[in-house]
Chains A and B, each alone.
Chain A
């Protein structure tokens, strides 16, 4: 099974900050990497698929990059509604998720 790790696990930030979250796979997954946002009590929402493709309707302040084993999710300027937990997920083999990064108020 492919193991996914994320850093940091917690990220205090302020509105307007540029935020970067890192995800690493235990082996190469090419670009089979997706990013989700989850708010408390809600289902996850897909933001980015195939490492860098923005889902239609997702604000352009979200972007993804990377290939192989190392990936990043960047929020260029944090909005109040972006405080949430973010998960990466690989789809190269049986799906697995990273442990999550909680972006909270500094």
Chain B
């Protein structure tokens, strides 16, 4: 069983479109995250939810909107896609607490043409 699963794995779309990426974890973790990895492999945190409550909201354009219907799911919706949104988006989860390990999904590669 995959611990953190993301869909779709690959997404190719045109500028201006709206798209969503879904994430689910079956680890029973309380906290979920979205990270963006750019073409230089730099990882930046975007959002985090703890038990469906938004707790981290970094400097991200408001075209990006996370949604957590329950603590096992965290989706990412992106409106009006731009070329610069092309990246790999990683979902991750962890238990509460500062020392807990992140478990990552395999990533969703978004290409905006």
Judge: A and B partners, yes or no.
no
Q: Contact residues of A with B, CB < 8 Å?
A: none
Q: Contact residues of B with A, CB < 8 Å?
A: none
